[in-house]
Amino acid sequence: MAVSLIIDSNCLESDRLEQFLAASVHHTAILTDYAAMEAYKKDAIDSIVSRMRVLAQFPAQVVVLRGTQYVCALRGRKAGLTRRMIYSEATNSFAEFCRYITLAQQGDAWHRKQILERESEAVRQLKLVEESGADITSYYSVFEKQFNEREKKDIRLSKPFSKETLEKFVRLVAMFAGALYDEHPHTGRWPKPFEWPYTFIYRSSILHYLHFFQWIRNGSPKSLNATKVRNDLIDLNFATYATYFDGLMTDDVKLEALYTEACYYLEYLFTPALTRSWEQPK
**Could you list the mean pLDDT of each consecutive 10-residue stretch along the chain, which spans 282 residues?**
94 97 98 88 81 96 95 88 95 94 89 82 78 70 88 90 88 88 80 86 93 83 69 91 97 94 85 52 36
Spatial CA neighbour of 18 closest among 61, 51, 56, 54: 54
- Spatial strand order in the sheet of 248-249: 62-64, 27-31, 3-7, 248-249
Under DSSP, the state recorded for 248 is E
Residues 93-136 pLDDT 10s: 999 999 999 998 898 888 888 888 888 887 787 777 777 666 67
* pLDDT score recorded for residue 227: 73
CA distance 177 to 202: 5
61-to-39, 56, 57, 74, 157 alpha-carbon distances in Å: 19, 10, 9, 25, 41
CA distance 223 to 274: 38
CA distance 33 to 258: 20
The backbone torsions φ and ψ at residue 48, rounded to the nearest 5 degrees and listed phi first, read: -70, -35
CA distance 62 to 59: 5
CA distance 55 to 16: 12
What letter represents residue 262's amino acid?
Answer: A
* pLDDT score recorded for residue 142: 85
* pLDDT score recorded for residue 3: 96
Under DSSP, the state recorded for 106 is T
Instruction: Give residues with Cβ within 8 angstroms of 217, minimum separation 6.
Output: 155, 156, 158
* pTM score of the predicted model: 0.89
The backbone torsions φ and ψ at residue 7, rounded to the nearest 5 degrees and listed phi first, read: -105, 115
The backbone torsions φ and ψ at residue 3, rounded to the nearest 5 degrees and listed phi first, read: -135, 125
SS3 58: coil
* pLDDT score recorded for residue 104: 87
